Structure 1
Amino acid sequence: MENIINRNQEELTAGNQAGSIGRDGYNESLWQKSAEKESAIGNTDPSVLYDALIVGAGITGMTTALLLQKSGLKCVLADAHNPGYGTTGGTSAHINTFADTTFAEVEKAFDKQAAKQFAESIAESVELIATNVRTYNIDCDFRWQNGYVYAETDKEVDELNDLYESALRAGVVAEIADQAPAPVPYQKAVVFEKQAQFHPLKYLVGLQKQFTELGGIILENTRIDEIDSHADFHIAKSGERQIKAKNVVYATHIPPGGVNVLHFRNAPYRSYVIAATLNDDSYPDSLVYDMKDPYHYFRSHEMDGQKYLIAGGHDHKTGHGDPEQSFADLINYTKRCYEVKSIHSQWSAQYYVPADGLPYIGHLPGASNGIYTATGFNGNGMILGTVSAIVLNDLILKGQSRYESLFSPGRIKPIAGFTEMVKEGADVVGRFIGDRFGLEEIASVSEIPVGSGEIVTYKDQKLAVYKDVQGNIHALNPVCTHMKCIVHWNNSEKSWDCPCHGARFDPDGVVVTGPARADLEKVNLDTDQ
């Protein structure tokens, strides 16, 4: 029962090299190609009451587990797949003292004190990452860098001024740059000192080693199906396995399971990244960001003596855009900025945009005491995942955190957040209704191209149909098992993506990422091929 969740891993990650760390898509990230998988064979005793069960072994879960274990608690870390399987294995791995939600936006939605607290939490997380690298001697290519943000138009200059001035008010070190390594002509640039970059999977493996050396237990291929809460403990169930714990942390990017208010306060997005080699040596020796919409960012990373330009951007809501077009647009834009020799890797990852701009970290709304969550990191998963670990560690050990109120998942403060909730809710309703009509009707599944999927009407049935490279047909009920929206085919990552709350399924309908827990229903077709 424990291995059921990985039964389609081979097909889903067919583009991944043998022996690399698996992740939630067909495309292999640059990090997977160069990180060695750490053994994570663990076992639990159903009679033991553990201090904490952390669900999800990305940077959020792994950092949380290590902090708690280091404090003397007895912890279990469970992942439905393997450590680094989700967004941590697909990040572009920027470490910043500023975030996608600008301090000006936080001031507007909350107040200036909230912006300062937000900045302080980010600075604390950057320092924790650097401390972990130094203390545990983690070989993860960690480098301090300057970060440059540049503006090309008058409108972008105004936005950059807001970013710069609000950062100063929040206590973040920044200054106007005399020169910036922008790949195009620009009007103005700002430099943020003491930013950083690293290899995210090597960093994660370093944390994993420390956690297990301290006695922490890691369970791979262990999806938590449900949790029964009692007065002073919780029983988590995964197939026949039961884990009893005083505290449970969902570090799963979005809480899984049934309907939760956080599913309506976060919007799922896909982010696109490429790693390219250049004809010349114009690799930027810094982190570089533009103010365009859609935005772009660049940095360099060296592996085994080979430099790579890492470029990202052209994000869109999950299940809404065209992933292949996003890759094409990103590659074309990068080629306009740099002398690209070849595209070594391309991959995408998922993140969630919070309604009011700040992450949700703390007690899971509607859940029993002792059940926590962390979500809504926008495109800043490495720093805000680490912020989450700091906050959750304090809440579990001390019962409080200095950031508890700011990041409370139960907060209902800014009007702006309410407006975004209404907007996202309307979008969900629109997809729920609109995607059920106007489907293409086909006479034969042979019409579907090899290696692709489509939502179609076939013999009066609405189906999600994928034809694999051998020409075999995989037919599914297209209704997402989370909240009944219609899934969309992602031809780049070879997955069925839900446009409402971001659940994703492999070609056979097996859950890849939540919030869905149940697989898509298989449909047996009597076809003429």
Structure 2
Amino acid sequence: MTTANNIQRDGENESAWQAGLNASISKVYDNKADILYDCLIVGGGITGLTAALLLQNAGKKTIIAEAHSVGFGTTGGTSAHINTFADTTYKQAESAFGEEGAQLFADAINEGFALIKSNIDDYRIDCDYESKPGYIYAEDEKQDQQLDEIYEGSLKVGIAVQYAEQVPTPVPYTRALQFDGQAQFHPLKYLQGLQKAYLAAGGIIMENTKIEKLDSGDGIHVAEAAGVSVRAKKVIYATHMPPNINVFNFECAPYRSYVMAVKLKSGKYPDALIYDMQDPYHYVRTHTIEGQQLLLVGGLDHKTAHEDPEKAFADLEKYIRKYYQVSSVKYQWSSQYYIPVDGLPYVGQMPFAADGVYCATGYNGNGMMLGSVSAKILSDLVLGKANAYADLFSPSRLKPIDGFSEFVKENADVAYHFVADRINIHETDSLQRIKPGTGKVVEVDGEKIAAYRDEDGVIHALSPVCTHAKCIVNWNSSEKTWDCPCHGARYDIDGTVLTGPATKGLPKITG
């Protein structure tokens, strides 16, 4: 899907970052089969571009293959908070990985933060970067106790935090924490700055190039896309979730998060990053988009394809209007992320793949910092350099017992959808009952069909069976996409893959 200015996006909704931003230009790739690259990076988001730039600056010959356009996926849909804390608290990290693990996790978060700032300074990237205080507030006694744990855990790993006397929020609260020195930025302006620096360093970017196959032998990896073949000594999958069936399908759960950018009647906007402790939590900040100050409010996260996106937006707007005097809603969008079963990302050598094939996934809601530090880990692995976080984030690490119950819960849910969606779909609706602009899985002549009727009344009929692991897709009424409830693959109305781990589209049904 594209916008008028040719910046592609992974759904119907346009994020505030995509609005008014011109697509940048990548170098045209000359497909010469005799070229052997030091590293192929698959994916042009914050992880892929950061890793590619680090490697190119280290003297390596690299190339990026992006299935759509730079910033197409999660980086283009993030709420773009830069924090010294994370969704997995340091207390939780200590419980699962010990004191040393918690300290390393904090160091990694800080290093990711610092890498973003140094890139902005070194390459003079104009991306609306601003330092802000961050606040987390509690609304009841149970949350008060959780707040104390966050405070104690943060202090233990050296994160500056204090109890706040006042929070710039209209929401009633009991107690709050203040983290100074947090930050925010425009993620796509930042990404385009990295892209410019990478191309200037001699890097190559192939957009609209989906790697469909990877063969490895004698230390060389050959990646195939439509009409393109790339040979490389190393390969990095920076695709948010590695493609096809892999161990991460059972270790990371796909979630969607919702964001609205609204104009306030008062003209008074909080000059801070603000978070509550509800489950799922809300997050609030201010950003100026195209000269217009807006309040960004996000939350109501849920597992991909498990709840109604239209209701999520309606509930989010209801929440915003409860506490703020809204004059208009300017943008609304959603984005996908993966929650790792044990709380920390998986970064490094990809299990069951050939040596020299690396990946990074499971950033939870902290992709800006973790994506950046993961890029440093991956580049160090390619360069043969030691990295302090490599063992902690290794995809082959032994799983702590704390994560086992979550592992069982998430994968029981996947098994449920794999079986139940086949048993319980007994649609009586005919294709004629599908209204323009809507989609539904229906049964026609005993065959299940994922059917969408466009505004001209034309039916787009697809197989509803996800090409990744054969679960049945669900219709996303807000983004106008077909989303898989098992592992998060997403397709457009014509069956084209928008988001992995699927690599093949939904087959079209004709006749």
- TM-score, normalization: structure 2? 0.98
Matches within 5 A, 1:5-24: 9=1, 13=2, 16=3, 18-24=4-10
Matches within 5 A, 1:390-409: 390-409=376-395
Partner of 2:190: 203
1:213-265: CA deviation from partner (whole Å, max 9, x where unpaired): 000000001000111111221111112311011110000000002x2111110
Instruction: Give me the whole-angstrom Cα distance separating, in 2, the residues matched to 1:400 and 1:366.
Output: 22
Partner of 2:228: 241
Deviation, 1:180, is: 1.2
Aligned to 1:111, the other structure's residue is in SS state helix
Instruction: Give me the whole-angstrom Cα distance separating, in 2, the residues matched to 1:518 and 1:37.
Output: 26
Partner of 2:446: 460
Partner of 1:4: none
Letter in 1 for 2:468: H
Residues 150, 182 of structure 1: 8 Å contact kept: no
Instruction: Give me the whole-angstrom Cα distance separating, in 2, the residues matched to 1:52 and 1:90.
Output: 27
Partner of 2:365: 379
Given the alignment, which residue of 464, 471, 490 partners 2:457? 471
Show structure 1 runs of 4+ deviating over 3 A: none
Are residues 443 and 67 of structure 1, via their aligned partners in 2, closer, same or farther at CA, if it must alter by over 3 Å?
closer
1:5-39: CA deviation from partner (whole Å, max 9, x where unpaired): xxxx3xxx4xx3x1142111110000001322110
Residues 133, 181 of structure 2: 8 Å contact kept: yes
Deviation, 1:440, is: 4.1
Letter in 2 for 1:424: E
Is 2:273 the counterpart of 1:273? no
Aligned to 1:101, the other structure's residue is in SS state coil
Given the alignment, which residue of 481, 486, 495 partners 2:472? 486
Aligned to 1:252, the other structure's residue is in SS state coil
Matches within 5 A, 1:391-470: 391-442=377-428, 444-470=430-456
Partner of 1:347: 333
1:31-55: CA deviation from partner (whole Å, max 9, x where unpaired): 0013221101321422011011000
1:419-444: CA deviation from partner (whole Å, max 9, x where unpaired): 22221211111000111123243363
| Gap runs ≥5 in structure 2 | none
Residues 20, 32 of structure 1: 8 Å contact kept: no
Aligned to 1:282, the other structure's residue is in SS state coil
Partner of 1:188: 175
Aligned to 2:19, the other structure's residue is in SS state helix
Partner of 2:156: 169
Is 2:32 the counterpart of 1:42? no
Is 2:214 the counterpart of 1:227? yes
Given the alignment, which residue of 260, 271, 288 partners 2:274? 288
Residues 16, 289 of structure 2: 8 Å contact kept: no
- Structure 1 vs Structure 2 CA RMSD: 1.1
- TM-score, normalization: structure 1? 0.95
Is 2:38 the counterpart of 1:51? yes
Partner of 1:521: 507
Instruction: Give me the whole-angstrom Cα distance separating, in 1, the residues matched to 2:377 and 2:401.
Output: 25
Instruction: Give me the whole-angstrom Cα distance separating, in 1, the residues matched to 2:11 and 2:61.
Output: 33
Aligned to 2:443, the other structure's residue is in SS state strand
Mean Cα deviation higher: 416-425 or 190-199: 416-425
Is 2:123 the counterpart of 1:136? yes
Letter in 2 for 1:151: A
Aligned length: 510
**Between the two proteins, what is the percent identity of the paired residues?**
53
Partner of 2:486: 500
Aligned to 2:111, the other structure's residue is in SS state helix
Letter in 2 for 1:389: A
Instruction: Give me the whole-angstrom Cα distance separating, in 2, the residues matched to 1:115 and 1:211.
Output: 33
Residues 27, 199 of structure 2: 8 Å contact kept: no
Instruction: Give me the whole-angstrom Cα distance separating, in 1, the residues matched to 2:10 and 2:178.
Output: 34
Deviation, 1:301, is: 0.4
Partner of 1:5: none
Residues 41, 220 of structure 1: 8 Å contact kept: no
Given the alignment, which residue of 388, 391, 397 partners 2:374? 388
Is 2:250 the counterpart of 1:264? yes
Residues 16, 261 of structure 2: 8 Å contact kept: yes
Instruction: Give me the whole-angstrom Cα distance separating, in 1, the residues matched to 2:429 and 2:140.
Output: 52
Residues 431, 499 of structure 1: 8 Å contact kept: yes
Deviation, 1:454, is: 0.6
Letter in 1 for 2:461: A
Instruction: Give me the whole-angstrom Cα distance separating, in 1, the residues matched to 2:145 and 2:33.
Output: 59
Instruction: Give me the whole-angstrom Cα distance separating, in 1, the residues matched to 2:227 and 2:7.
Output: 26
Deviation, 1:164, is: 1.2
Mean Cα deviation higher: 443-452 or 207-216: 443-452
Residues 20, 33 of structure 1: 8 Å contact kept: no
Residues 441, 475 of structure 2: 8 Å contact kept: yes
Are residues 449 and 276 of structure 1, via their aligned partners in 2, closer, same or farther at CA, if it must alter by over 3 Å?
same
Deviation, 1:270, is: 0.5
Partner of 1:113: 100
Matches within 5 A, 1:71-110: 71-110=58-97
Deviation, 1:416, is: 2.1
